[in-house]
């Protein structure tokens, strides 16, 4: 008799190159310099990852004033930071390592380029998200207007008589962003945009994989990720808009097995900051409850890898000392 349930594993899923690089930066800093290593903000939005690094000696803080002047490494998270944070670190001569995702840095440079060319920036993103705070903090106050959704795009009133450009947070819904850009472009002819889409390849690929899983018949999609992880929340939204139910869980124990067992075909994915071990936890929990056939649904192969900062690749290691951010 064939299995009563099918589990479709979306691929790609889980760690992206930017998250992998950020975690490796903390791990390498601990290996080279020992504990403690200070990290401003969660290095990535995943409690399991953060708790694991904390157990090895990483100290997570929200602001630089929580860090003593003891010469220990200070790491900026994958989400990026405002220029004022970098300036404060340099003023205090902190030994800093920048774990900002290179694709976020690309958005920062893009915003600066538009600003130099006299354009006002319309930033598509979510208020208060660390990446948005960091991007807005690359430019003077008033140089960027945040647009969170299509309704705001239809109502926003940027400075009159100033050329405009748009850029976006890297972890947004591809479909939502396209809708917002369409509204802005219709209202503001001549609106400049990025040379290449700001939403990162990993976000786009994971959303495409979720759509493919639903198209293959999944009526429930389980997303492994944190509630404060933008890309994880977007995956759940993409599944719902594709016609499936969706649940966001941080660990397998949070999954309601009775509810899941009512679905003959279940999809499973993970946000870009969730390790594969947590996905396999969910597979094991479901397999213990129901007769399960597991299939892969792959929409893309990812081979991108980002290099570590030079301060962590020098041999012999660079000793902790006052250093501007890499």
Specify whether 301 is catalytic.
no
Please identify which of the residues 42, 131, 148, 281 carries the catalytic annotation.
131
Cα–Cα distance measured from residue 178 to residue 62, given in angstroms and rounded to the nearest whole number? 33
Cα–Cα distance measured from residue 50 to residue 42, given in angstroms and rounded to the nearest whole number? 7
Strand partners of residue 292: 5
**Residue 78 and residue 130 in contact, taking contact as beta carbons nearer than 8 Å:** no
Angle (CA) 192-196-202 rounded to 5° is 135
Instruction: Go through 175-193 and write b for each residue having 16 or more CB atoms within 10 A of its CB, e for each that does not.
Output: ebbeebbebbeeebeebbb
Kindly state the DSSP code that residue 323 receives in the 8-state scheme. B
Cα–Cα distance measured from residue 35 to residue 208, given in angstroms and rounded to the nearest whole number? 40
What is the maximal distance between C-alpha atoms in the chain?
A: 70
Question: Closest Cα partner for 210 from 228, 233, 226, 229?
Answer: 233
Q: State the number of CA atoms in the 13 A half-sphere of 233 facing the CB.
A: 10
**Residue 211 and residue 217 in contact, taking contact as beta carbons nearer than 8 Å:** no
Q: How far is CA 309 from CA 22, 40, 319, 325, in A?
A: 10, 17, 14, 10
Q: Is the peptide bond before 12 cis (omega within 30 degrees of 0)?
A: yes
Q: What is the arrangement of strands in the sheet containing 144-147, beginning at the earlier edge strand?
A: 144-147, 120-124, 164-168
Just list the catalytic residues. Answer: 131
């Amino acid at each position: 008799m064939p299995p009563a349930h099918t589990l479709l594993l979306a691929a790609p899923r889980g760690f992206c190159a930017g998250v992998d690089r950020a975690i490796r930066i903390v791990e390498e800093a601990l290996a080279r310099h020992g504990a403690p290593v200070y990290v401003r903000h969660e290095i990535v939005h995943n409690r399991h990852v953060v708790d694991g690094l904390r157990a090895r000696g990483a100290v997570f803080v929200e602001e630089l004033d929580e860090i003593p002047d003891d010469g220990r490494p200070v790491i900026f998270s994958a989400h990026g930071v405002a220029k004022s944070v970098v300036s404060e670190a340099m003023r205090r001569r902190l030994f800093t390592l920048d774990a900002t995702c290179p694709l976020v840095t690309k958005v920062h440079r893009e915003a600066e380029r538009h600003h130099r060319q006299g354009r006002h920036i319309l930033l598509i993103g979510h208020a208060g998200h660390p990446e948005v705070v960091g991007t807005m903090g690359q430019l003077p106050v008033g140089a960027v207007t945040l647009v969170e959704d299509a309704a705001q795009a239809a109502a926003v009133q940027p400075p009159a008589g100033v050329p405009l450009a748009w850029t976006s947070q890297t972890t947004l819904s591809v479909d939502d962003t396209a809708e917002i850009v369409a509204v802005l472009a219709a209202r503001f002819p001549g609106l400049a945009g990025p040379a290449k889409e700001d939403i990162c390849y990993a976000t786009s690929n994971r959303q495409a994989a979720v759509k493919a899983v639903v198209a293959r018949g999944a009526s429930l999609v389980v997303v492994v990720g944190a509630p404060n992880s933008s890309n994880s929340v977007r995956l759940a939204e993409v599944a719902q808009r594709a016609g499936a139910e969706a649940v966001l869980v941080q660990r397998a124990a949070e999954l309601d097995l009775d509810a899941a067992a009512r679905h003959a075909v279940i999809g499973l994915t993970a946000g870009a900051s969730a390790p594969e071990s947590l996905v396999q936890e969910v597979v094991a929990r479901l397999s213990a409850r129901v007769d399960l056939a597991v299939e892969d649904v792959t929409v893309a192969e990812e081979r991108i890898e980002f290099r570590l900062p030079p301060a962590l690749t020098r041999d012999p290691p660079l000793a902790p000392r006052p250093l501007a951010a890499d």
